[in-house]
């Protein structure tokens, strides 16, 4: 009985144990890595990424994939910068930026429902469309000289903790509550696990998918605010690339690529593993191109492991039948 409990604990917390192991290895290889300041810096640098990844995780749990995340983040950043340039108050500009995220995210969900095709294909198209919108708005230029109140969102601290870290913790707790404690959250899992069964159970599958994309858009808006306020600039190039890292983090953490399974904690640990790897590889002097190779290998291994787990579940269910 105790052996079974131990195996269950290891299986459910495998990625957290791997994260601890990676931290231990880099701490041995680089004395600078193990400083509290550096560890907090990893959390602060990846705060926007974690928030965006949680949004991607929700979409994946519902059975979809969003490849337009990076472009949405770029449009929101440019939109907020333009609003503040026209003397719109910072809170209003941030709120309108989040509204842009909701509209664009909702559009992805609506298009997938109307066209009856997988969201990955839809967002592959909207990724290009949103990129065009972003560059039309920005005129291919970057925006600087943000107000101190906006910069404080990404650069300020409360005590020893950076504000982006606090925002990320709040977002993670709220989405965890939604997914685990609300009917809407249970519907997301049901739709992702088997949309036809969910439909027969009386769940409006199209509506749940649309709302999931819209809620993810809120997180993309928050992510863009954190990113642009921390960096002190906004442009159409700030977001692209995030989508693939986010999918990698989700699959690495244990969020199923085919839907119906995953937790907020899975997305967070996936982000932290990638963040620690990037920071650690920089600390030991590994070049950027080598880092890309490592990340690619991790993505392939993660998808392979996810596929293996899904096949194992099918075989187990077949034996029971």
> What is the arithmetic mean of pLDDT over 312-317?
70
Residue 240, pLDDT > 90, answer no
Helix (H) or strand (E) holding 162: strand 161-162
Q: What is the pLDDT of residue 233?
A: 92
pLDDT at 310: 67
The yes-or-no verdict on residue 299 having pLDDT over 80 is: no
Tell me: pLDDT of 321 over 80.
Answer: no
DSSP string, 93-125: HHHHHHHHHHHHHHHHHHHHHHHTS-HHHHHHH
> Phi, psi (5° rounding) for residue 159?
70, -135
Whether pLDDT at 254 is above 90: no
For 73, 186, 260, the CA distances from 10, given in Å and listed in that order, are 36, 25, 22
Report how far apart, in Å, the C-alpha atoms of 293 and of each of 25, 27, 253, 272, 278 are. 19, 22, 19, 18, 12
Question: Cα separation of 264 and 50, whole Å?
Answer: 10
Q: Are the C-beta atoms of residues 80 and 93 closer than 8 Å to each other?
A: yes
126 compared with 5, residue with greater pLDDT: 126
Q: In this predicted model, what pLDDT tens digit does every residue of 279-293 receive, in sequence order?
A: 988 888 878 888 788
The per-residue pLDDT of the chain, averaged, comes to 89
Instruction: Give 244's pLDDT tier (boundaries 50, 70, 90).
Output: confident
- Are the beta carbons of 271 and 71 closer than 8 angstroms? no
- Angstrom distance (rounded) from CA 64 to CA 59: 5
- pLDDT tens digit string along 69-100? 999 999 999 999 999 999 999 999 999 999 99
| Confidence band for 306, pLDDT divided at 50, 70 and 90 | low
Q: What is the spatial distance between Cα 205 and Cα 85, in angstroms, rounded to a whole number? A: 41
Beta strands in 12-111 (DSSP E): none
Average pLDDT over residues 204-229: 95
Residue 2, pLDDT above cutoff 60: no
SS3 category, 204: coil
Confidence of residue 135 (pLDDT cuts 50, 70, 90): very high
- Using the predicted structure, report yes or no on whether residue 257 has a pLDDT greater than 60: yes
Give the C-alpha separation, 274 to 46, whole Å: 9
* Chain segment 142-190, per-residue pLDDT in tens: 998 899 999 999 999 998 899 999 999 999 999 999 999 999 999 999 9
How many Å apart are CA 15 and CA 176, to the nearest integer? 18
For residue 133, what pLDDT is reported?
Answer: 94
């Amino acid at each position: 009985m105790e052996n079974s409990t131990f195996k269950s604990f290891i299986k459910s917390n495998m990625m957290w144990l791997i994260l601890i192991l990676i931290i231990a290895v880099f701490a041995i290889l680089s004395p600078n890595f193990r400083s509290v300041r550096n560890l907090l810096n990893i959390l602060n640098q990846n705060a926007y990424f974690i928030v965006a990844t949680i949004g991607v995780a929700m979409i994946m749990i519902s059975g979809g994939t969003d490849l337009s995340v990076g472009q949405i983040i770029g449009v929101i950043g440019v939109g907020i910068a333009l609003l503040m340039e026209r003397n719109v108050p910072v809170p209003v500009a941030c709120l309108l930026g989040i509204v842009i995220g909701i509209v664009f995210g909702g559009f992805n969900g609506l298009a997938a429902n109307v066209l009856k095709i997988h969201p990955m294909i839809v967002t592959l198209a909207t990724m290009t469309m949103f990129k065009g919108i972003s560059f039309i708005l920005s005129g291919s230029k970057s925006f600087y000289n943000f107000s101190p109140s906006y910069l404080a969102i990404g650069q300020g601290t409360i005590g020893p903790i950076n504000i982006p870290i606090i925002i990320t913790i709040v977002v993670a707790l709220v989405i965890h509550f939604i997914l685990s404690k609300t009917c809407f959250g249970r519907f997301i899992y049901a739709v992702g696990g088997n949309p036809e069964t969910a439909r027969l159970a009386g769940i409006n599958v199209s509506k749940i998918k649309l709302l999931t994309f819209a809620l993810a858009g809120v997180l993309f808006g928050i992510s863009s605010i954190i990113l642009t306020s921390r960096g002190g600039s906004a442009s159409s190039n700030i977001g692209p690339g995030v989508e693939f890292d986010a999918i990698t983090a989700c699959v690495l953490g244990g969020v199923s690529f085919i839907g119906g399974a995953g937790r907020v904690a899975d997305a967070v640990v996936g982000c932290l593993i990638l963040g620690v790897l990037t920071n650690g590889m920089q600390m030991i002097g590994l070049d950027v191109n080598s880092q890309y190779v490592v990340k690619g290998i991790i993505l392939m291994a993660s998808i392979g492991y996810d596929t293996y787990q899904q096949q194992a579940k099918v075989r187990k269910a077949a034996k029971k039948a």
